[in-house]
Amino acid sequence: MVLTVHNAYWLTLLLSLPTSAFLVRLFMIQHDCGHRSFFRSRWLNDLLGHAIGMLTLTPHGYWRRAHNIHHATSGNLDKRGIGDMHLLTVREYLALSGWKRLAYRLYRNPLTLFGFGPLYLFVIKFRLPLDMLRRQRAALPSVIATNVVIIAAIIGLGLWLGFTEALMVQGPIVVMSSMAGVWLFYIQHQFEHTYWRRTEKWDSDKAAMQGSSFYDLPRILSWLTADIGIHHIHHLSSRIPNYRLRECLRQNAELQDVDRITLRDSLRCVFLALWDEGTDRLVSFKSLARPQPST
């Protein structure tokens, strides 16, 4: 990409596609390190996780804590807010003022969720993630260390290539990889017949099997995403590393008997935005124009 940035920028952009895809795979390895499942050694998991975090713009210590909270609370309506996407029930949405409804609609708009949102998350929010740091200050050193390395890398690349050229090379990679990462996280839990319950009715195994998708991607995409699409098994046991998920799926017939989401199916999930407690499914804003069952 560096060699082509001046004379053939179209080729630079073309090369950014596989580069972004490999960065997504690195993030999935960092994800396993966050669960301390990629290696048997806790020390090696933490070392590699922090190192990859410098490339993915994701402070590993902070992200590991937030993501483990997500695993402990996934599908629990009373414990939303850390490590997940903002989601309202139909009743909560209808109780909002007009301006707050508009704000939520803008937040759930695909252009926000998969356009501006990923850039804000990886480029801005992860630089100082106050949602977690107020509660767990032990994550602060990871945030500071990651930020220092990122600043040093920007300065180094700028002095080597020129700051404009460095942005032309790195910018498309950040844009595409962050969008892909957020899309994967979205489709893992935001599909029509997912699982959300109040605390008194919440069950961790049901949240894993019913509330985590089996995203059945073409084989090359499965490899690039480190089989994270087999997400129901990952939520059943986060100690299973990505390179054992498919084997686990093959060897356990009961884990194959779940609703699969194909690449085409997943595109229909883009406009789902509200949890209907009456029908136990995600619905779109458009569905509110039709008569709704009691929630």
For the stretch 208-243, pLDDT in tens is 999 999 999 999 999 999 999 999 999 999 999 999
Average pLDDT over residues 139-155: 92
From CA 188, how far away is CA 231, in angstroms rounded? 7
Reported as a pLDDT band with limits 50, 70 and 90, residue 128 is confident
Tokens of 142: 């990871």
User: Looking at this protein, which amino acid is placed at residue 36?
Assistant: R
Indicate if the pLDDT at residue 77 is higher than 80: yes
Nearest residue to 250 via CA among 233, 225, 226: 233
Average pLDDT over residues 84-102: 95
Reported as a pLDDT band with limits 50, 70 and 90, residue 46 is very high
What is each CA distance from 246 to 46, 55, 256, 260, in whole angstroms?
24, 27, 11, 14
C-beta of residue 29 within 8 angstroms of C-beta of residue 55: no
Q: What is the DSSP letter of 287?
A: G
User: Looking at this protein, which amino acid is placed at residue 112?
Assistant: T
User: Looking at this protein, which amino acid is placed at residue 155?
Assistant: I
Indicate if the pLDDT at residue 181 is higher than 60: yes
Share of the chain above pLDDT 90, in %: 87
Tokens of 210: 């019913």
pTM: 0.91
Tokens of 149: 């390395």
C-beta of residue 133 within 8 angstroms of C-beta of residue 62: yes
Reported as a pLDDT band with limits 50, 70 and 90, residue 136 is confident
Angular region, 216: left φ>0, alpha ψ -120 to 50, beta rest? beta
The secondary element (H helix, E strand) that includes residue 69 is helix 60-73
Average pLDDT over residues 131-145: 81
Reported as a pLDDT band with limits 50, 70 and 90, residue 280 is very high
So what's the pLDDT on residue 123? 95
What is each CA distance from 147 to 111, 124, 178, 179, in whole angstroms?
27, 11, 17, 21
Share of the chain above pLDDT 70, in %: 98
Indicate if the pLDDT at residue 279 is higher than 50: yes
The secondary element (H helix, E strand) that includes residue 260 is strand 260-261
Residue 80 phi/psi, 5-degree rounding, is: -80, 155
Instruction: Match 């994800």 to its residue by tokens.
Output: 31
